[in-house]
Amino acid sequence: MRPWVPSTSATTLRQHILRGGSSLNTPGFVNISLKQPVGVVAAIIPWNAPLVFFCKKLAPALAAGNAVVLKSSEKAPLTSLYVARLAQKAGFPPGILNVLSGHGPVSGAALASHMDVRALTFTGSNRTGKLIAKMAADSNMKNLIFELGGKAPAIIFNDADIDAAVRETQFSIQLMSGQTCMANSRIYVQRTIAESFIEKFKAAFTSARLGDPTDPQVNHGPQADKIQHATVLRYIELGKKTGKLVTEEQSVSGLYINPTIFTDVPEDAQIMKEEIFGPVVIINTFDTEAEAVANANNTEHGLYASVYTKDLDQAMRVASRLEAGTVGVNCTGPTKGDDMPFGGQKGSGIQRESYIHSMETFMETKSVLIKVAGL
């Protein structure tokens, strides 16, 4: 497999966004730096938004001049195959865009260990990310770009627009039945407004219409499969032992999970520390700004966080102290800027992605030292 020779438009894009440099600081030399494709990039994407991840990972890697092998999730293989067929019809050269179907322990492991793959971008769980990192280190030390799990906190101060905060945080945790890495599964509400916030949030969250997600009247579908359904139920049972369940017990059949709210959960509880990936939210209270920030940061996850307040000074102060790759001010996940770097701090990722920022991630920087006589 060979690096791609991009079209004129792709080459122009690279020249305008990713430029090398030059230097006369070494006596007798004119030195330059070059940006060049790494060669072959592997991309491993999750099932929950296959088209988004297909485009987000392939577009910058291809624009940077690389060939790409993408492994789709075994739970959602058809989207990637369909888009690959469209790319073929659009005239992509053979061997430049390749889609591989299969399970992680076989297909994913082959890419993570392959000596011809020089960079690998992955979105998924922390556990799988660690396995990929070990395989990459044991093979050829390939460059890694990881977007891993989240446990996104939302901090609601007493001067916030409560109705907007309820509406947006409820949508964040309910979107795709809680199966997104940016879902704000932890909400910290200032004590003076907690009763009002929880009452409104519960009314909005539990009004979900469960059913077939292809039905326009439905806004809450099932969990992805039996394994994920059982995982969420297990966390709910753990939550009952440590916190207060303020919603009804599970009463639905199939792979559906009722919207679930816990309050008064200890910060060291398992459901506060681990990503549940379901429609389960913990709402705790706080008194001071420092307390809210400390609790929000008390996790190894650091993908997304948000703060709701009308005080701009407070918003900027808190945003700078939150340990997250993205912080939303008076907004929350899935809101993000596609032209901004996206990724996680701590256990939530390595490096950053975006349609433009990622191009440099998929390129090597080379220094060329040119000795000039008489200079």
Those residues with Cβ within 8 angstroms of residue 254's Cβ, 6 or more apart along the chain or in another chain: 222
Confirm if 252 and 226 have CB atoms less than 8 A apart: no
From the list 181, 275, 323, 353, the catalytic residue is 181
Which residues, including other chains, have CB under 8 Å from residue 93's CB and lie 6 or more apart? 4
Residue with tokens 């058809």: 78
Does the annotation count 55 as an active-site position?
Answer: no
Q: What is the DSSP letter of 92?
A: P
Cis peptide before 334 (omega within 30 of 0): yes
* Active-site residue (options: 147, 168, 274, 323): 147
- Whether the CB-CB separation of 260 and 282 falls below 8 Å is answered with no
Q: Residue 308 is encoded by which pair of tokens? A: 């709701």
| CA gap 73, 79 in Å, rounded | 10
Q: Which amino acid is at 278?
A: G
Residue type for position 131: L
What's the rounded Cα separation, in Å, for the pair 103 and 72? 9
Q: How far is CA 88 from the centre of its chain?
A: 28
Q: Specify whether 331 is catalytic.
A: no
Residue 68 contacts residue 87 (beta carbons within 8 Å): no
Token pair recorded at residue 72: 């789709």
Cα(273)–Cα(253) distance, integer angstroms: 28
Q: What positions carry a catalytic annotation?
A: 147, 181
